[in-house]
Amino acid sequence: MVDLVIDVRNLTRTFAVGDVQVRALRGVDLAIERGEFVAIMGSSGSGKSTLMAILGCLDPPTGGRYYLEGVDVAGLNEPQLAKLRGERLGFVFQSFNLLARTSAIENVALPLFYSERVSERRDRMEKARAALKLLGLAERENNTPAQLSGGQQQRVAIARALINGPSVLFADEPTGNLDTRTSHEIMETLASLNRDQGVTIIVVTHEQDIAEFAGRIITMRDGLIVSDVRREAPASSQLPASAEAKGSSAAAAIFHPTSAVSARLPRVSTFAFASMIVSAAVAAIARNKLRSALTMLGVFIGVAALIAMVAVGDGANAAVRKQIESLGTNLAVVLPGAVLTGGARVGFGSASTLTVADAQAIRREAATVSLVAYLMRQMGQVQLGAQNWTTNIQAVSVNYPPVTNWSIAAGRGVTPEDERRAALVVVIGQTVYKQLFTHGEDPLGAMILVKGFPLRVVGLLAAKGQSMWGQDQDDLVMIPFKTGEQKVLGVASPNQATNLTALYPLPPNPFNLQPRLAGYVNSIYVQAAAQDKIKTAIDEINQILMRRHRIKPTDVKDFDIRNLSQIAETAEGSSRIMAVLLAIVASISLVVGGIGIMNILLVSVTERTREIGLRMAVGARRLHVLAQFLAEAVLISVSGGVAGILAGITISEAIALFSRWSSPVSFAAIAIGFAFSAAVGIFFGYYPARKAARLDPIQALRYE
C-alpha cells in the first residue's frame, strides 16, 4: 500500500484584502508519499508559499480537506496543532530565523523547549549537539549567528528542523539568501538527508537549479497545480566529508521511528511546564541585559522609595510616641479654669482654686487613679557667678518626676525629707546646666541663686528635648514644693489672685499659670492605673472637684481637665497619615515602573514578532507564548523589587546612621513591596503577553 504522509483534496484559501477577496488557492489536490523529495515552484503570487503554510499547519485552509499521516488536520485544536508542528514537522526558512545573541546549540535545541518527550536540559543539549554534528557544525556549537557564515546559519536552521526527527521537513526558499556554491551545498545536505535518513522534504523555490535536486517538481500558477513531474535521477551529491564521516552516529541520536499523529495530548507536569517557561524567559532577558536592567529601574526606585519612606514614617511615629512618653503615660492634667466677673468669663486660668488638698482628695477617693502629683511654677532668674539665665522654676511634689516621666542623669531628685524640711536644694535641667556651667563642670554640690535664694544642686535631669508645642522641656529647675511655697516663690494673699498675670507675667503657655496662694497649685497631674481607665479616672476627678468646689452642673467650672492620651492619639494619627501619604507617593513610582515594563514589552512584542512566529512554528502553543512573556514581565518586575528592597533597607539604615533619626525597616513594607512588584509585572505584563500570544504564526513569520 502507498504510505501517504500528505493528502490534500480540493484545498482552497481566500484572503480578504480590504473589500477584495483574493483566492490564493483554487482547489488543490496533492498527495505526497513518505520519503519523497518534492520541490514546489512558481512565480510570485502563484500560491506556493500559501500551500506550504497550510501543509505546515501554520495557516488554516478556507475549504477542502488536509490529511497528515491519515489525520484530518481540520479537526485538531490549537494545542494539538502546536504539538504537531513541534514533533512531526520541521521548518527551514529563507532568512534562517535564528535567535540573535544565542548560541548555535541553543538555537537548535529551541523546539525541545516545547516538546513533551525531552524535559531535561542535559538531554536537550545532547540531542542538539548530535544534530549539529550531523550537519558538520560540531565545532561551532557555541557560536552566535553573527559569528557564522550564511551557509553555516542555514545548516543550524536545518539542524533545528531535524531535532525532533520530523516526518516532513519544509524548506521555504532555503537558499534565497545564499550564493550559488553555498546554495548547492545546502541542497546537497537536504538531498542526503532524504536519501540516507528517509526524511520527507518539501522545498518551495522559484529557481530551477534548486528544484533539480528534488525527485518530484510541482509547478503552480494562479493558485492551481499546473504540472507535477517525477524525475528518475535527481541531481545530488554527497555531504561534505566531515559531515559524512560523523553523520551515522549523530543521525541515530536524532531520528526515531515515525508514528501517526495522535490527537490526544499527554499531560505535562506543572513543574515541568513552569521550568520550561522560566528557562525561556530567563534566556530572553539575558539576551537583552541592558534593556532589562533599565526596565527594572522603575520598579527598583518605587520599591526602594516605598520601604525607605515607610521606615521614615515609622521613625516619625516613634519620635511622636517618645515625646508623648516624655510627658507621662496614662496621664490627665487638671488646670485652673475661668471665673465670671460682671457676667463675663475672665478667661482661662483666672480661677485659682486648685489646692494641695484637692490633689490629696483625688488620690484618696478616685479608685482608678494610681499616682497624683502637683506643682507651682514661675519664671525667674538663676545665677552662678557671672552666668545667669531666666528659666522655669517648678516647685514640685515628690512624686512629680515619676508621674511625668522625668529621670535623673546625675545625682538625685527631690526626696520626702527635702519636702518635709523645705530644704534649699535644686535639681536642674540640661539647658540650665549648659547655660550656667559653660565649661562642662560637675554641677553636683554647686550653689546657685534661684530668685536670689542660694540653693545647692543635688541632681541633673536627663534630657527630654522639645515638646509637641516646640518648647524646650529641659529649660527648668525643680525644687521641693514647700521650699517654693514658703521661701523661693513666696505666698500671695487671696485678694491678689485676680492679678496673677500682672504680678508674674509668663509666656502664653496654659501650663505656666502660677497661683501664689498658700496651699494652692498651678496644676495637678493624675496618672490612671491603666490606659483603658483614663476616661473613668477623668470622670471621677470631675465629680470629686465639682463636689469639693461646690459647683452645680449648670455652673461654669473653675477647673479644666486635659487628657494627654487624646493629644497622643491625635499626634500619632497625624503621623500615620503622613506615613500613608509617603507610601502612596512611593507607590506612584511603582505604577510608573509598571507602565515602563508594559511599554518595553509592547516594543519587545513588535521587535520579536518573527521570533514569536518561529516559536509557534517549532511547537510553541499560544499558552507557551503568553506564559513566557508574562514570566519575563514578572521576572523583570520581581528582580527590580528584590533589588529595591535591598536598596530601601540600605537607605533606611543610612538615614538612621547619619541623621540619628530612627527609621526602622518595616517587614510589612518589604512584603508589600515584593507583592506589589510581582503584581505590577502581572498587571502590566498581561496585555503585551496576550498580544504576543494572539499573533498569527504565518503572519508573524512574514513580519518585516
Residue 668: predicted pLDDT: 78
According to the 3-state scheme, what is the secondary structure of 505-553?
A: CCCCCCCCCCCCECCECCEEEEEECCHHHHHHHHHHHHHHHHHHCCCCC
Residues of the chain with CATH 3.40.50.300: 4-233
C-alpha span between 627 and 414 (Å, rounded): 74
Tell me the β-bridge partners of 229: 217
C-alpha span between 170 and 202 (Å, rounded): 5
Closest CA to 380 of 497, 510, 522, 503: 503
C-alpha span between 115 and 233 (Å, rounded): 37
Closest CA to 561 of 322, 238, 248, 333: 333
Which DSSP state fits 344? E
According to the 3-state scheme, what is the secondary structure of 350-398?
A: CCCCCEHHHHHHHHHHCCCEEEEEEEEEEEEEEEECCEEEEEEEEEECC
- Mean predicted lDDT score pLDDT of the chain: 81
C-alpha span between 307 and 670 (Å, rounded): 6
Instruction: List, for residues 678-688, the tens digit of each pLDDT value.
Output: 888 888 888 88
Residue 265: predicted pLDDT: 42
Q: Give φ, ψ of 240 to 5 degrees.
A: -55, 150
CB of 468 within 8 A of CB of 477?
no
Residue 519: predicted pLDDT: 79
> Does 260 score more than 70 pLDDT?
no
Tell me the β-bridge partners of 391: 380
* CA angle 80–624–252, rounded 5-degree value: 65
First to last CA, the chain: 45
Q: Give φ, ψ of 441 to 5 degrees.
A: -65, 160
* The one-letter amino acid at 109: A
- Return the minimum-mean-pLDDT range out of 142-156, 216-230, 528-542: 528-542
- Return the minimum-mean-pLDDT range out of 272-281, 353-362, 498-507: 498-507
- Work out the pLDDT band at 657, boundaries 50, 70, 90: confident
C-alpha span between 275 and 631 (Å, rounded): 11
Instruction: List, for residues 473-507, the tens digit of each pLDDT value.
Output: 899 999 999 999 888 987 543 433 333 333 333 33
| CA 504 remoteness from chain centre | 61
Q: How far is CA 357 from CA 261, 562, 704, in A?
A: 103, 20, 96
Question: Where are the alpha helices (H) located in 562-666, listed in sequence order?
Answer: 564-607, 609-617, 622-659
Report the top-level CATH class of 4-233.
alpha beta
Q: Mean per-residue pLDDT for 54-80?
A: 89
Residue 200: predicted pLDDT: 92
Helices and strands counted in the chain (H then E): 23, 22
Count how many Cα atoms sit within 13 Å of the Cα of residue 178 in the half-sphere of its side chain: 25
Q: How far is CA 60 from CA 28, 90, 565, in A?
A: 14, 18, 75
Q: Give φ, ψ of 283 to 5 degrees.
A: -65, -40
Residue 303: predicted pLDDT: 85
Instruction: List, for residues 304-356, the tens digit of each pLDDT value.
Output: 888 887 787 777 777 766 666 555 557 888 988 765 555 555 555 556 788 99
C-alpha span between 672 and 306 (Å, rounded): 9
Q: How far is CA 95 from CA 40, 180, 416, 660, in A?
A: 18, 16, 99, 63
Residue 704: predicted pLDDT: 62
Q: Report the interhelical angle of 564-607 vs 289-327 (nearest 10°).
A: 180
* CA angle 628–634–638, rounded 5-degree value: 145
* The one-letter amino acid at 567: I
Residue 560: predicted pLDDT: 86
Q: Helix or strand or coil: residue 573?
A: helix
> Does 552 score more than 70 pLDDT?
yes
Count how many Cα atoms sit within 13 Å of the Cα of residue 526 in the half-sphere of its side chain: 33
Q: Give φ, ψ of 298 to 5 degrees.
A: -60, -45
Q: Which residues contact 171 (CB under 8 A, 6 or more apart)?
A: 91, 92, 161, 190, 201, 202, 203, 204
Whose cell is 498569527? That residue is: 696
CB of 311 within 8 A of CB of 665?
yes
Q: Which residues contact 484 (CB under 8 A, 6 or more apart)?
A: 376, 393, 394, 395
Instruction: List, for residues 387-432, the tens digit of each pLDDT value.
Output: 999 999 999 999 999 888 889 999 999 999 999 999 999 999 999 9
Please state the pTM of the whole predicted model.
0.60
Longest Cα–Cα distance of the chain, Å, equals 137
Q: Mean per-residue pLDDT for 499-520?
A: 46
